[in-house]
Amino acid sequence: MNVTEMRNPNSENIDKYSTRKILKTINNADQEVPNVLSNDKIIDQLALIVDKIVKSFQNDGHLFYIGAGTSGRLGVLDASECVPTFGVKSTMVQGIIAGGSKAITQPVEGAEDSLTQAPLDLQTHNVTKKDVVIGIAASGRTPYVISALQYAKKLGCVTASISCNPESEISKYSDYPIEAVVGPEILTGSTRMKSGTAQKLILNMISTTAMIRLGKTYSNLMVDLQPTNHKLIDRAIRIISEATNVSKDAAKTYYEKSDQQPKVAILMALCNIDKNTAEQQLSETKGRIADNIQ
């Protein structure tokens, strides 16, 4: 059943609505999305996917999102945000979109229909059996994504998929399929709306949970963020202060003594140790602050 292409009865006269009523109609539809994702079957499947991703990362593997159009752009977005948020290398989580980087801002005609390009794109990104590949397609039948999953399975990769139709075609080629059926869109077939929202939420859940499991946070603080501008430097100092219960001035001192490494600064303050010792202890616990606290 192709739910993503069905007409939504709640918006059949939307072109006659007032501006406020259009906004309210869209908002009402958007509120359906989180309820769909709270389903235990989806959460359980996501937990399995995240555990596989964490294991992959711990064995020098990578996470690849691959999709076309809106789905591809959302994968690229989530991957790119992992770098500043969690201080990881840009290769750790990668987004691949049909049509290449041009397709991020412009449509590339026919790119999603190719059955040969996705394997070539995965080869270009040096995908190996140690990696996890997640195919994203709201319709669940995008040829580019299907061929990507087929190739990834041949390599021996763990595969997962995210779609918004029941019994999606891409689910057949995925070890861990997610089908978030959020129903017909307010604009018929415009999967940048509810389907896109569902995909964005799922990707947030996957990458954030994996990073938490890897020790990229201490409590709910982003201790591995990259302080690359004045706003982020100030945030890093606040994080150090909140994590250690020291003054902002003291936190700034620890920040500077740690060579601008918030996680190292936190451990220095909590354990009253120097920078080299803090770095050594974090190395031994694979970056998890909590494992160093008695």
- Supply the mean pLDDT for the chain: 96
| Tokens describing residue 208 | 């954030």
Residues forming beta bridges with residue 179, ordered by sequence position: 163
> CA 95 to CA 118: how far, in whole Å?
12
Residue 112 a catalytic site member: yes
Active site residue 81: yes
Question: Is-contact 53 210, C-beta < 8 A?
Answer: yes
Q: Is the pLDDT of residue 280 over 80?
A: yes
Is pLDDT at 294 greater than 80 in this prediction? no
What pLDDT is attached to residue 293?
A: 83
Average pLDDT over residues 106-123: 93
- pLDDT tens digits, one per residue of 201-251: 999 999 999 999 999 999 999 999 889 899 999 999 999 999 999 999 999
107 has a pLDDT exceeding 70 = yes
Give the percent of the chain with pLDDT over 70: 100
Which of 54-68, 122-136, 280-294 bottoms out in mean pLDDT, i.e. has the lowest? Answer: 280-294
State residue 276's pLDDT score: 96
The active-site residue out of 5, 12, 32, 81 is 81
Mean pLDDT on 111-130: 96
HEC assignment per residue over the chain: CCHHHCCCHHHCCHHHCCHHHHHHHHHHHHCHHHHHHCCHHHHHHHHHHHHHHHHHHHCCCCEEEEECHHHHHHHHHHHHHHHHHHCCCCCCEEEEECCCHHHHCCCCCCHHHCCCHHHHHHHHCCCCCCCEEEEECCCCCCHHHHHHHHHHHHHCCEEEEEECCCCCHHHHHCCEEEECCCCCCCCCCCCCCHHHHHHHHHHHHHHHHHHHHCCCCECCECCCCCCCCHHHHHHHHHHHHHHHCCCHHHHHHHHHHCCCCHHHHHHHHHHCCCHHHHHHHHHHCCCCHHHHCC
Mean of the pLDDT values across residues 37-59? 97
Cβ atoms within 10 Å, residue 88: 18
Over 70: is that where the pLDDT of 82 sits?
yes
Q: What is the pLDDT of residue 273?
A: 95
pLDDT beyond 90 at 1: no
Domains, in order of start, for the chain: 3-213 (3.40.50.10490), 230-292 (1.10.8.1080)
CA distance 162 to 178: 5
pTM, to two decimals: 0.93
Average pLDDT over every residue of 71-92: 96
Mean pLDDT of the region 69-84: 96
CB 128 within 8 A of CB 122: no
Lowest mean pLDDT among 35-49, 50-64, 106-120, 150-164: 106-120
Residue 267 and residue 277: Cα distance in Å, rounded? 9
CB 290 within 8 A of CB 221: no
Q: What are the tens digits of pLDDT across the range 138-149?
A: 999 999 999 999
160 in Cβ contact with 178 (< 8 Å)? yes
Tokens 């007409």, located at residue? 7
Q: Which entry of 5, 32, 112, 167 is annotated as an active-site residue?
A: 112
Least confident of 108-112, 196-200, 215-219: 108-112
Instruction: Assess contact for 60 and 78: CB atoms under 8 A.
Output: no
